[in-house]
Chain A
Amino acid sequence: MDICYKFSKESFLDFFKLMQSFGQVHAPVRVSEQSFSFRPVEKPEQIAFEALRTILPPKKMFFPQRETLISYSGKEVKDHTPEPLAQVLFGVHPCDLAGLGIMDNIFSAGPPDSHYLARRQATLVVGLSCMPDKHCFCNSMGTDFPHSAYDIFLTDIGEDYYLQIATTLGEKLFDPKPDFIKTIDDQDNQSYKDFWTNRDKAFTSNFKSDNLKQIFDLEKDNPVWEELGKRCLSCGNCTPVCPTCYCFDVIDVASLDGNSGSREREWDSCQFTGFAKVSGDFNFRPGPVDRLKFWYRHKLHGFDDSYGLKTCVGCGRCTVSCPADIDDIVGVVLRLQASQNESKKDESA
């Protein structure tokens, strides 16, 4: 059970200073007319509170687009696991929190990933409520409410923020309790409840997601895949913008002296031709149809076998960033479900 307080929006500066006392604050910043990005900020005025989806999801804070894993000089190899650096990630919406939760799972499972975890464990995550636009479908994926991966969560209840503290890290920040933090009463709890109820009504789409595994298995040969695959440019835009796409490549970067260098990890995409190619030029997913279907299946049918997770969080980033207009997850799911319903009708007729 979270510890709950509230504070007035007018005292946001006090809250901001408190975050700064923990470490460098990163928050959504407007970077163009339509786009936002998580950037380091020094004062509250820089924060774009209205930001819905940033261009890149918060995974970039812990799993950067490119990083050095090890370096070498002759036979000497040096581990580049980063030193934990206290920082604050502010303004993470419920879908992105769900995404972080999935990334946390993947990077801690099996042999844990020290590079990701060192950064992640030293970061205070402050969530922030939001109102959906027409591309949001977190309500369908069950990621529309903060469940995990946050230390502190703020819900906009009008003149105040309703403050939830979920972890020891978050609790310590408010010890001793600062003056601007107020206790909550029944009215605040009602406002909190009203906010989430109204937010739920604001979604324009809603699909049933508990049968996705079954739908993806049964509709694996649905014509929709050929149709979308033919339009796919294999540009890979859908993967860096996805809060849960974590695939990477590891490459050697040799210095000119021929004796030293480093091994670097960088984001990769399952939409690129060579992603699943093995020696002898055998490719398990040679065409855009295979690769697109793989991506959809991975996101919505999920890691049911490996991690037991669906990895789509309904943020809508792929939908808005696909140049071919084919990452319409809501549309595809509805089509597949409609085909299933048709098949059922045919059988009963």
Chain B
Amino acid sequence: MKALNSGFVPIKGTLRSIVPMAQDNYLFQISVEDGSLSGCQPGQFIMLWIPGVGEAAISVCSGQVDGTLELCVRKVGRVTSALFQLEEGSFVGLRGPFGHGFPLDEYKGKDLCLIAGGLGVAPIRSLWQYVLAHRENYGKIILIYGMRHSIDLLFRQELRVLLRRHDIDVYIAAEEIVGPDLPPVPEQLGRVTDMIKLAPIDQNFQVAVCGPPVMYQYVIEELLAKNVRQSDIWLSLERHMKCGMGKCGHCFVGGKFACQEGPVFSLLELNLLPEVIECHRK
């Protein structure tokens, strides 16, 4: 008699569509056999398995998950490179969803600012899809999305639609215009921090942030300068992950497992922990 089933057995998924979005960034739509991923919340992640290659932790970027989910993936490592070689109809394994996503209950009835840098737009997109689908539950909504080169813009079509809506303020800027122009926004050139300065954010806002690790300290400084409370700044942290179950130790941050208690933490929670924001390229 077996006591338990292993948490390492994946669910079977099938690649339904693969859409190139920008250089080395594709949107993958995956359908799953059972409904086990349907409770997935914005900000949660799954472990994507390519048999024979390995697993990678990837944020779910669709606001609602039922039989299918979407992953926006950049080709950077072994697993993602293998994923890019697969064709529609291929088999992939999935485990999850893992962790705590953005605190949707906490956000209810409040003004929201969503801040994305680069590929950090993936989990932020799940959040904007979710809050726009439940628009009546939220106050003002501001979206800030920055990237290094304009050619890296992701979800171009979807952002054009958002720009036409009156119930969400969208700021998009790149540090450099390379290739096609950005959608028609007032300030096309700049950093995420420049847009935070421009946007009418005040102490009543709940803020969700996801971007490359180096971005956080600058974003936090700007938000604090706008009197946003530390307990209202929610950061999605990227960490190396192997299990998703609070065991393998790779995602350990200060005293917490990012895979279980995160990946979204309030700045207040992280305040006293070492190695949270600071990071080095090596």
Contacts and interface: CB of A to CB of B under 8 A. Distances in A.
- Are chains A and B native binding partners rather than an unrelated pairing? yes
Interface of A: 69-70, 72, 74-75, 77, 79-81, 83-84, 106-107, 109-115, 117-118, 121, 217, 220, 246-252, 254, 258, 261, 263, 265, 268, 270, 274-286, 290, 294, 297-298, 301-306
B247 A246 contact: yes
A283 B282 contact: yes
B275 A113 contact: no
Nearest to A114: B4
A285 to B, nearest CB: 6
Interface string B1-15: 111111111101000
Contacts of B242: 248-250, 268
A83 B280 CA distance: 44
Contacts of B55: 250, 263
A217 B255 CA distance: 12
Interface stretch (B63-71, B103-111, B200-208, B256-264): B256-264
Interface string B245-258: 11111101011110
Contacts of A248: 242-243, 247-249
B275 A114 contact: no
A252 B54 contact: yes
11 contacts: A77-B12, A79-B8, A81-B4, A110-B247, A111-B246, A113-B247, A265-B8, A275-B250, A276-B250, A282-B214, A290-B275
A114 B279 contact: no
Q: Is the interface of A mostly helix, strand, loop or mixed?
A: mixed
A118 B261 CA distance: 26
B3 A114 contact: yes
List 9 A-B pairs, minimum CB-CB distance, nearest first: A305-B255, A247-B249, A254-B52, A114-B4, A69-B8, A286-B282, A111-B245, A110-B246, A111-B7
A263 B249 contact: no
B6 A107 contact: no
A126 to B, nearest CB: 22
B98 to A, nearest CB: 9
Contacts of B2: 81, 83-84, 114, 118
B255 A303 contact: yes
A278 to B, nearest CB: 5
